[in-house]
Amino acid sequence: MAAHGFLLASLVLSFLAEICYGVTFSSLQRTLVVTSSTKAGEVLKAGQDQLTVTWSFNETFPAGTDSAYKTVKVKLCYAPVSQVDRAWRKTVDNLDKDKTCQFKVVAKPYSPSNNSFTWTVEKDIPTATYFVRAYVYNSNGDAAAFGQTTDAHKTINLFEIQAITGRHVSLDIASVCFSAFSIVSLFGFFYMEKRKGKLAQQK
Ligand SMILES: *[C@@H]1O[C@H](CO)[C@@H](O)[C@H](O)[C@H]1NC(C)=O
Ligand SMILES: *[C@@H]1O[C@H](CO)[C@@H](O)[C@H](O)[C@H]1NC(C)=O
C-alpha cells in the first residue's frame, strides 16, 4: 500500500516536472538573426573545412525583449532528410529530449550585435545534411529564444558535411598488416615447435 502511494506520488511528480520544467521549442521566440557562410548545398569536409556563423538580435522586436538574455549556444543541427528512420536524431518539442542539435559550435555571453565565430568542422561530425541554430538562455539556464539559418520547415539553406574516411582506410591497412604479422608469427611458432620435436626424436 505504502509502495503504491510512493509510486503514484513519484509518477505525479515526474509528470509535474515535465510540465513545469520542460521548455518546449515551440514556446521560444525567434528573435535572433543567424547566418552562416555556407552556401545552400555546399559540402564541407569534417576535420578540415570551416564555416563562419554570425548572429544578432532582430531589431524588429521591441527594445528590452532581450533584457533577460544571458548566453548564446550555437549548435549544428540535423536537417529532416538526415533524421528519417533515425530515432537517435529525432526532433522532440521538449528541449530536454530533442535530438536535433547534437553538436556544439560555440557558447558565448549574449550580445545583441556583432557576434561571429569561425569554426573548423570537428573530426567526429558524421556525414549528414545540417543547418545551424543558436539558442539563447536566461540566467536560470532555461532556453528563452533562438535563431537559425533555415526556415521554420528546415528546408532552405541546408549544407552537407562529409565525414572523414581517410582515417578508416589507414586503420584498415594497419589492422590488415597486424593480422598478416600474427599469422606469419603463428606459422613460425609451429615450425619452430615441429623442428624442436624432430630434433628431440633424433636424439
Ligand atoms: C525579424 O523578425 C521579423 C518578425 O518576426 C521577421 O518578419 C523578419 O524576417 C526578421 N528579420 C530577419 C532578418 O530575420
Ligand atoms: C565589432 O567587432 C569588431 C571586432 O571584434 C570590432 O572591431 C568592432 O568595433 C565591433 N563593432 C561594433 C559595432 O561593436
Q: Cell numbers at residue 181, please?
A: 604479422
In the block, cell 609451429 appears at 190
CATH number at residue 157: 2.60.40.1930
pLDDT at 194: 74
Q: Whole-model pTM above 0.85?
A: no
56 lines ligand 1 (CB under 6 A): no
Ligand 1 pocket test, candidate residues 28, 56, 60, most atoms within 8 A of CB = 60
Identify whether 32 is part of a domain. yes
Instruction: State which residues form the domain around 96.
Output: 25-162
**Residue nearest ligand 1's atom 4 by CA:** 60
d(CA 28, CA 166): 41
Cα–Cα distance for residue pair 138/51, rounded to 1 Å: 27
pLDDT of residue 193: 75
pLDDT in tens, 47-56: 999 999 999 9
- Which ligand is the nearest neighbour of the Cα of 55? 1
C-beta 26 within 6 A of ligand 1: no
- ∠28-33-89 over CA atoms, to 5°? 55
In a domain, 35, yes or no: yes
The model's pLDDT over 129-153, given as tens digits with 9 standing for 90+, comes to 999 999 999 999 999 999 999 999 9
Among 142, 67, 52, 50, smallest CA distance to 110 is for 67
Number of domains in the chain: 1
Instruction: Flag whether 188 is in a domain.
Output: no
Give domain status of residue 106, yes or no.
Answer: yes
Q: What is the DSSP string of 90-159?
A: ---SBTTT--S--EEEEEEE--SS-EEEEEEPPTTPPSEEEEEEEEEEETTS-EEEEEESS-TTS-SS-E
